[in-house]
Amino acid sequence: MTTLEKASAEIILLHEQIEAWFRGDAPPEALDALAACFADDFRMVTIRGDQLDRDGTQALFGRLYGARPGVAITIDQVAVRVDRPDGWLVSYRETQVLADGSSNRRLSGAWLQATRHGRPAWVYLQETALP
Sheet containing 121-130, strands listed edge to edge, beginning at the edge strand earlier in sequence: 51-53, 38-45, 121-130, 103-113, 87-97, 72-84
Domain at 3-130, CATH class: alpha beta
Mean pLDDT, rounded, for 59-82: 97
What are the backbone dihedrals phi and psi of residue 118, each rounded to the nearest 5 degrees, phi first? 75, -140
- Is the pLDDT confidence value at 62 over 90? yes
pTM comes to 0.94
What's the DSSP call for residue 49? -
Query: Residue 21: helix, strand or coil by DSSP?
Result: helix
Rounded mean pLDDT, 61-70? 96
Residue 124 in contact with residue 110, Cβ under 8 Å? yes
Mean pLDDT of the residues in the chain: 96
How many angstroms separate the CA atoms of 19 and 58, rounded?
15
